[in-house]
Structure 1
Amino acid sequence: MGVKSKAAAAILVLLLFLGSLWLHGGLDYHWDSCLKGYNQLNGLNQLYNSSGAEGVEGPQVLQECPGQTFQVSLLLSNMLAAPAYSSDVLIQPYLSSWDELVRFMEALGPMVGLISKEIEAKTSIIRHLAAMTVESPEVDLAAGVNSINNVGAEVGTDPEASEHPGAYHSVRSMIVAELNQGLVDFHQQTDSGCRTLLRLHRALLWLKLFLEKLAETPVTGRLKSPSELCRESYQSTLSLHHTWLVRRAAELAFIALPERGYFFRLVCVQNQEELSAVLTRVVQATGEVYDRTQKALEENGMLDLP
């Protein structure tokens, strides 16, 4: 085997490691095949709400982008639908947002697509847990669900909350239920919804920062390539939780990212100004979801679950 062949084989091995270890818990990737039975239908094809951003010019309605699997309009609409009550996040639109982010990553090529497989495994775990409580009410986490009423200030006092008693209806209801059921282990890895959420939460910060950087238009100087921006975003977020091997493999994957013009076509815009207007709305909506989730995890000491 020649030098070039050996180098290619080494890169392939590193990327395979990346796919399984990406979210620092890749041993549960094999759950993916048996946990995909809980699929959510999302019939939103257009967004009829503004993100509320002031001073950001752009269309108030994001139309479906023809010929694209990834739809930025669906991503934005799901992100806007996720916040609930005073400081909570609804699980269903949160996971639907991740469905669209997975399609976004898959659209960037096979190298980044490897990362999306591990994220799909994570969302499947939470969906599986939610489906179990729906299909078998007798195994619903009754202690956790009942105690939600005692933390109204945190979960929210909206009357609508009483109509959704499921343990996996929202981030805060899931946290309370799993804590009361003893499903969260602060010392070793488990397949709890809270630990899985933390891994998704960390990945969301990386993607949020990447989209934020992609939306920036510097007054002077050149626009950095998406590859550079993605690497910078990763280095300040997810890399802090990864081993040396995974960090090196991730940087190899980012080299293969397409150029900026591809992102124009991906979200159906013509130039950087239009891209900035669309992505700024997405980033602001994502930031609200991230901040609420961060607060809920922090209040319960879950930012460092193993």
Structure 2
Amino acid sequence: MSSDTCKSSFDVDKVCNCLRKYNEDPNASSLDLYIEAYKELQKFFECLGTVFSFVTSDVESKINILETYRNDPKCNDDYVTLQSMMEYEAKHNLLRSEERPSGARTLLRLHRALAFISKFILEVSKLEDSAATGPAARTAYQATLAKYHPWVIRKTASLAMYGLPNREQLIVRAFGGEPGDDKDKLTQTMITLAELSETAYNITNKLYEDNNLLDLP
């Protein structure tokens, strides 16, 4: 992949706005806002190429499953919030169904990756422009997603991270910046994104924990 700015036009402000609204009411966690934020975050990783396939490989299919339920007139009202989704699927014995993908189970996989996203971006925000971002990615990965991945994926992911660009190149690719841009502003943008992502993760994690759903197979 070239070092040119990413063609998929990652919009960090859109993600932050979605997450900020999502975080406003922990008792009514909007599935639409979560999906919209994640669809935009997917572009961030697409900008960095196949190196993050361990995060992005199934994201599109998972988002499609959730959007299908949101657009289905038979059940869309039950998928307005994460709370209503969990209640509906528990009531109809759908949480562990092998015939129909569970929305709660599907979102749980996205939720786990959100922890990685938050930690990775926060670690990168602390680096100098010339610093490699691979070590930051490995640190974030080991603390989050690695716990759910088999050895083969962990090994592949760890090796792939050696191919990540340095901080300045990453910003140019993913954030649409240019070398020499206002570094303080870009750093603050990254910190804001990381903090909003962490808050959204914590809200969602508590919801899963309160409903005993963190171990959905």
In which range does the TM-score fall when normalised by the shorter chain? 0.7 to 0.9
Q: How does 1:226-305 map to 2 (within 5 A)?
A: 226-265=133-172, 266-267=174-175, 268=177, 270=181, 272-305=183-216
Name the aligned partner's letter for residue 239 of structure 1. A
Q: How does 1:183-202 map to 2 (within 5 A)?
A: 183-185=94-96, 191-202=101-112
Check conservation: 1:84, 1:90, Cα contact below 8 A.
Answer: no
Superposed CA offset, 1:174-207 (max 9, x none): 1111111110129x79610011111111000011
2:70 to 93, 108, 130: 130
Check conservation: 1:88, 1:292, Cα contact below 8 A.
Answer: no
Check conservation: 1:264, 1:271, Cα contact below 8 A.
Answer: no
1:117 alignment counterpart: 57
Check conservation: 2:115, 2:201, Cα contact below 8 A.
Answer: yes
Q: What count of residue pairs does the alignment treat as equivalent?
A: 209
- CA-based RMSD of the aligned residues comes to 2.6
Check conservation: 2:117, 2:197, Cα contact below 8 A.
Answer: no
Separation in 2, partners of 1:299, 1:197 = 16
Separation in 2, partners of 1:130, 1:217 = 40
Give, in angstroms, the shift of residue 85 of structure 1. Answer: 3.1
2:83 alignment counterpart: 172
Separation in 2, partners of 1:96, 1:250 = 26
Separation in 2, partners of 1:204, 1:127 = 18
Q: How does 1:60-209 map to 2 (within 5 A)?
A: 69-113=9-53, 115-132=55-72, 134=73, 136=74, 140=75, 166-185=77-96, 191-209=101-119
Query: Going by fraction, where is helix more abundant, 1 or 2?
Result: 2
Runs of 4+ in 1 over 4 A off after TM superposition: 65-68
Name the aligned partner's letter for residue 110 of structure 1. T
Classify 1:111/1:252 alpha carbon distance in 2 versus 1 (closer, same or farther; 3 Å). same
Superposed CA offset, 1:284-304 (max 9, x none): 221221111111100010111
Classify 1:199/1:272 alpha carbon distance in 2 versus 1 (closer, same or farther; 3 Å). same
Instruction: List runs of 5+ in structure 1 lacking aligned partners.
Output: 1-64, 142-165
